[in-house]
Amino acid sequence: MEDDFLRLEHITKVYDNGIMANDDVNFSARKGEIHAICGENGAGKSTLMKQLYGVEQPNEGRIIVKGEEVRLSSPLVAIAHGIGMVFQHFMLVPSLTVAENVTLGIEPTHGLRFDAERAVAMTREVCDKYGFDVDPTAKIQDLTVGTKQKVEILKALVRGADILILDEPTAVLTPQETDELFVQLRALRDTGHTIIFISHKLGEVKSLCDRITVIRHGHTVGTYDVRDVSESDISRLMVGAVVQEEVPKDPARPGAPVLEVKGLSVADQNGKLAVHDVSFSVREGEVVGIAGVEGNGQAEIINAITGWASPAAGTVSIDGHEVRALSIRGLRDLGLAYVPEDRMTLGIASNLSIRENMIAGKQDRPRYNKGVLQDQQAIREDTDQWIREFDVLCDGGEQTVGMLSGGNIQKVVVARELTAAQRLIVCDQPTRGIDVGAADSIRRRLVRMRDDGSAILLVSADLGELLNLSDRLLVVFDGRVVAYFPSTEGVSEEELGYYMLGVRQMEGQQTGGAYLV
Amino acid sequence: MSSSSKAHVAERRGPLEGLRNMSVQTKHEILRMAMAIAIGLGIAVVLIVLTAENPGEALSYFIAAPFMQTMYFSHMVEVIIPLMMTGAAVCIMFSANQFNLGLEGAIYLGGFVAALSGIYLVPDLPVLGPALSILLGGLVGFFIIAIPALLQYRWKANIVVSTLMMNYLCLYVGLWLLFDKFKDPASSQHTYPIGASAGLSILVPGTKIHSGLILAVVIVVAAYVLLYRTRFGLSIRMVGQNPSFAKYSGLGVSGIALVSQLIGGTIGGMTGAVQMLGLYDRFQWTTLTGYGWDGVTMAILAHNNPKYLPLAAIFLAYFRTGAWVMSFKAGVQIDLVKVFEGVMILFIMAEKFLSGTYRKMVFADADRKRKERAAEGSVGA
């Protein structure tokens, strides 16, 4: 029982915007265990781990590593204490090789020169020791997401980390890559490493971890042996009483096509073709889902539909109007609503109030204007109603949006868009970062809007959400549609995983069925 | 549980409660401003003590001059007028995040054209004459700012650089017009006199407070209403806060940026006209006036919100009057007030100034809320 290997005591952390992310949190881990930290988005898991990695400093509390109280003022200090962290967004230089990335900052030198051979040797040694199948001379930009993640882990191991923090490592992986990662993590545990595994995928936690600490609303709920708790126990601990359920829905009654995407090819920011010859349609009264590992062309498809990118080839039209010829204002006037994936850049102006953010884009409506002045009362009435309806946790509509937590900012964006237009709704990760209850009500609302005749295009990394909401489903891989399911009935997440990874691919005539008129 | 408690919080907040529960951000911002002012004043006092022959007397003028004589008070009000007007102009441009520094040129030529109008066009027409001259001044400001603003709109020419250049262009065009075309041969650097009825009328008899004050107040109120009570104002602020978001919301971002600058330029030209017609009997400016830079200072003090312009204007005018009186009564350089203003602005602009205190305040606030919640919870249970 080496509970002193790593201990965080009474940690309290308040962010600059006043959000108390950790409130008197306690956590401890033993040598040689895989310890899960579970909690909903926004529960404070990442904040806790950032403090352990020295990115953030606690306002109150103590951190004890290997029996010694430490002050982790920066990641460098954390690394010196044997703590390594793998973030969701990789911190790698794409143009450099694996070995160069792994040894970045601790480069072996030969005189003044970088000793490339020794860097490769160092990397290979660690690879062999822990059974990582990575080519040290490969360039990062040529690697798959799963392999990039391995490089991140290697980076920590080369620096001598024996405490490894993984922040939702499986979020970007296919089911198959996930299995491979788990084999490696178990091997690391068996060689005495402590692994802290942040996740809210309970199946993974059950199959991989030894113990679990549950965090809810910034508090520790408790630490348990994974053997002793079932998945439903954990989810109850995570969310309190509510458990995520499938949203019930009737079969779709689709009408005329609203969105028609035909032969679409789109270049990414670097001018490289990121979407190749994609065709599909979304009709009135149906939800069409797009599954795929992030970065396989979804963003570019959405950009071409919402007017942020022009197609390199092919056409996109909404109710017969070609998107290319219209301004964003013109698209919005056609009835386009868009919940963007990057809410901080596109979705809000963080220094403006909740009301102003909710009214943005609708400010020209007669309802919100009395002569030349805005109708403050109408604005107040509507935004107050939306704040209630979408359960935005705030001090009132005058509060600036930047002062809200990530999940509540997302609710503001969704509230504005779902009350803006009804003809075509493009949702990119609509429930990311939102608590279970609010996510459920947003999904129900989307189904209701579908039943009222809206056409909905849904891109989500949450496969459960995709399978639940979509009436028809596409899978994209490397910018192409590799699978099309006319119905999600009986489709499993595993099956989607094979297509998302590019292992399987349907014939052209099958995927061509996605374009219905 | 969480949803019910937050509903209570929302209901309990009346207007009075709102004042007492001023957000930590606001409290901290007030503290920051107060500290910046205190440091600026502190340095000014030290300089006065070091340089004045009779520091006690000099300080008394610096601190209290506007209340010593009607003339000093009147001077303070005169100073307030252009501060409010250019402050409003810069607030509108900065709200759209357009760092347009071209007001100097607009003010200079706006004042020139208003003077010409008062000399040649409407020398004998009371009320309507000055109004027309001010409108012409505004029109000149509009067109002067339109040049760099359009260069930016069309070719993305950097607005900071182009407006700074524009200021000198305006000055030298003005000097050429003054010396080569419109100078009264009997004087060294003046035009002919502005017509007797073409100037602004005196508002308070026995002082030099002129009717430009009314226009200044109207413009500040209008700027506030525009920015915070109209849909176009919301558009301006959306563009200023996050142009990607503004574009995503369907706004024409560069068009709104352009219009915000044209409004600012117009107000700038009018400021030049008001100053000229309110305080001078002939056009005689041979340098840029500095009112445009004052507008930047004002917008920074007011956080780009015209609501705070009157307060900021009184504040600046008060100490400028003090320094002015001090300079001829106690022989202390008037530029001392520039040191004071400069130091103050420096600290206000320094984002990390007092950020440690801010963190502590945020934590204390969160801690207080946590204890309140705990207390509420135990009462409930």
> What is the least distance, in Å, from the CA of A36 to any CA of chain B?
25
B253, B155, B351: which is closest to A346 by C-alpha?
B253
Which chain A residues are Cβ-neighbours of B2 within 8 angstroms? Answer: 217, 393
pLDDT of residue A241: 59
pLDDT of residue A195: 96
DSSP-based helix, strand, coil % in chain B, nearest 5: 75, 0, 20
Enumerate long-range contacts of B42-46, CB under 8 Å, 24 or more apart.
B43/B339, B43/B340, B43/B343, B44/B319, B44/B336, B44/B337, B44/B339, B44/B340
Q: Which two tokens stand for residue A303?
A: 């950009």
Which chain B residues are Cβ-neighbours of A19 within 8 angstroms? Answer: 366
Alpha helices by DSSP H, listed for A56-144, are 75-80, 98-102, 116-130
Q: Which two tokens stand for residue B282?
A: 């002939």
Q: Which two tokens stand for residue B337?
A: 């007030």
B241 to chain A: closest CA residue: A349
Average pLDDT of the segment spanning B307-320: 96
Cβ–Cβ under 8 Å, residues A168 and A88: yes
SS3 A428: strand
**Closest partner CB to B234 (pick from A16, A363, A393):** A363
**Residue of B19, B221, B231 to mutate when probing chain A, most A C-beta within 10 A:** B231
> What is the least distance, in Å, from the CA of A359 to any CA of chain B?
9
d(CA B94, CA B304): 7
Residue located via tokens 């970062």: A433
B238 to chain A: closest CA residue: A349
pLDDT of residue B288: 97
Residues of A130-159 as b/e, b for ≥16 C-beta within 10 angstroms?
Answer: bebebbbeeebeebebbbbbbbbbbbbbbb
**Residue of A326, A346, A385 to mutate when probing chain B, most B C-beta within 10 A:** A346
Helix H or strand E segment including A282: strand A273-283
**Residue of B17, B351, B363 to mutate when probing chain A, most A C-beta within 10 A:** B363
Residues 6+ apart with CB under 8 A from A111: none
Q: What DSSP designation does A346 have?
A: I
Burial of A251 (0-12, 13-18, 19+ CB in 10 A): exposed
pLDDT higher for B26 or B98?
A: B98
pLDDT of residue B4: 40
pLDDT of residue B381: 40
Q: What DSSP designation does B9 have?
A: H
Q: Which two tokens stand for residue B333?
A: 């350089």
Asked if pLDDT for residue B305 goes beyond 60, the answer is yes
| Residues of chain A under the 50 pLDDT cut | 1
Residues 6+ apart with CB under 8 A from B323: B62, B332, B334, B336, B337, B340
pLDDT of residue A165: 95
Band of the pLDDT at B21, cuts 50, 70, 90?
low
Indicate the residue type of B244: S
A381, A240, A388, A259: which is closest to A317 by C-alpha?
A259
pLDDT of residue A162: 92
Residues 6+ apart with CB under 8 A from A49: A37, A85, A165, A167, A196, A198
Q: Is B242 on the interface with A (CB under 8 A)?
A: yes
pLDDT of residue B5: 40
Which chain A residues are Cβ-neighbours of B366 within 8 angstroms? Answer: 14, 18-20
**Residue of B230, B248, B304 to mutate when probing chain A, most A C-beta within 10 A:** B248
Band of the pLDDT at B6, cuts 50, 70, 90?
very low
CATH fold label, B53-331: ABC transporter involved in vitamin B12 uptake, BtuC (1.10.3470)
Asked if pLDDT for residue B2 goes beyond 50, the answer is no
Average pLDDT of the segment spanning B361-366: 86
Task: List, in sequence order, every residue forming a beta bridge with A12; answer none if it has no partner.
Answer: A60
The dihedral built from the CA positions of residue A177, A179, A183 and A188, taken in this order, carries a sign that is positive
A-B Cβ pairs (cutoff 8 Å, strict): 101
Q: In Å, how far from its chain's centre is CA B238?
A: 21
B365 to chain A: closest CA residue: A18
Average pLDDT, chain B: 91
The full length of chain B comes to 381
What is the C-alpha end-to-end distance of chain A, expressed in Å?
Answer: 65
pLDDT of residue A497: 85
How far are the Cα atoms of A355, A392, A414, A438, B6 from residue A387, in angstroms, in the given order?
A: 9, 5, 11, 12, 12
The strands making up A424-428's β-sheet, listed across from edge to edge, are A336-339, A424-428, A455-459, A286-291, A472-477, A480-485
Sorted by where each begins, the domain ranges of chain B are 53-331
Which chain B residues are Cβ-neighbours of A18 within 8 angstroms? Answer: 24, 362, 365-366
pLDDT of residue A2: 53
Which chain A residues are Cβ-neighbours of B13 within 8 angstroms? Answer: 395-396
Phi first, then psi, for residue A373 (nearest 5°) are -90, 160
Residues 6+ apart with CB under 8 A from A81: A65, A66, A70, A72
pLDDT higher for B268 or A170?
A: B268
Which chain B residues are Cβ-neighbours of A350 within 8 angstroms? Answer: 241-242
Q: Is B357 on the interface with A (CB under 8 A)?
A: no
List, for residues A70-118, the tens digit of each pLDDT value.
999 999 999 999 999 998 788 899 999 999 999 988 888 888 888 889 9
How far are the Cα atoms of A124, B107, B133 from residue B1, in angstroms, in the given order?
A: 53, 60, 66
pLDDT of residue A242: 55
Average pLDDT of the segment spanning B321-345: 91
A240 to chain B: closest CA residue: B1
DSSP-based helix, strand, coil % in chain A, nearest 5: 35, 25, 35
pLDDT of residue B16: 52
pLDDT of residue B20: 57
Domains of chain A with bracketed CATH: 6-239 (3.40.50.300)
Which chain A residues are Cβ-neighbours of B25 within 8 angstroms? Answer: 400, 403
Q: What DSSP designation does B183 have?
A: B
Q: Which two tokens stand for residue B99?
A: 């760092």
Phi first, then psi, for residue B317 (nearest 5°) are -65, -35
